[in-house]
Amino acid sequence: MNLKIFGLALASTAAMLAQAPATKVGVINIQQTILSTKDGQKATQNLQAKFDPRRKDIERKQQEIQQMQDSFRKTQNTASEDQRTKLARDIDQKQMALKRDMEDAQGDFEQEQSRAYNELGGRLLQVIDKYARDNSYTLILDVSSPQTPVLYMANGTDITAEIVKLYDANAPAAAPATGAPGAGAPAGGLPGSAAPKPTTIAPPKLPLPSPSKPATAKP
């Protein structure tokens, strides 16, 4: 290719790039956004209040096991073999029951948590969709998702705080949870994209005490 032809090709490419629409990309932390909205904070408080009795019951059982373990250690040189065997067996049974209670409580908590937050996420996607259209975004990436790792982003590309502010400003005074998670999400997404899907997040777990260790001394 001679210089004249190369120059014409370069000029043609530059003209095409000049005519192409600018790509505007934004990033958002969906997890942080959901948990930062007033609805998200209220949902978190309601869940904690609902499961607080179960958490306290688990803590009470944990303390009971700890007391039994202390008694086992203190009396291991004075109690009979039958007494030590019975106490060790009782401790093991209570520990297994406590483990099941903790797993059940955590599972129930996460199930209700996902239901509440995913329903909120469906409403949040409507806000993001409108914001993206109004501000001519071509693409918005969720940096909280391991499937979309972002290694670098310039200042001004993170729209998390703006979406939280916009959501709170337009959220109804009381947003009842109705229908399936994500119900009411817009039928269309960003221009040229598929419809947005309900967001699944991994919020904090129910704060439960750590399981106690079994009695160290053997009967």
Structure tokens at 98: 């406590």
pLDDT at 3: 47
Instruction: Give this prediction's pTM.
Output: 0.62
Q: How far apart are the first and last CA of the chain?
A: 90
pLDDT at 16: 53
Q: d(Cα 175, Cα 41) in Å, to the nearest integer?
A: 13
Q: How confident is the prediction along the chain (219 residues), in pLDDT tens digits per residue?
A: 554 544 445 455 455 545 556 688 999 999 899 999 999 999 999 999 999 999 999 999 999 999 999 988 888 788 888 888 898 999 999 999 999 999 999 999 999 998 999 889 889 999 999 999 999 999 998 888 777 777 777 888 899 999 999 999 988 654 444 333 333 333 333 333 333 444 444 445 555 555 555 554 444
Cβ atoms within 10 Å of 201's Cβ, excluding its own: 20
Q: d(Cα 158, Cα 155) in Å, to the nearest integer?
A: 7
For the chain, domains (ranges, CATH) are 23-60+114-170 (3.30.910.20)
Per residue, what are the HEC states of 106-133?
A: HHHHHHHHHHHHHHHHHHHHHHHHHHHH
Task: Please give the backbone phi and psi of residue 69, each rounded to the nearest 5 degrees, phi first.
Answer: -65, -40
pLDDT at 60: 94
pLDDT at 56: 93
How far from 42 is each of 11, 103, 120, 147, CA to CA, in Å?
58, 25, 11, 28
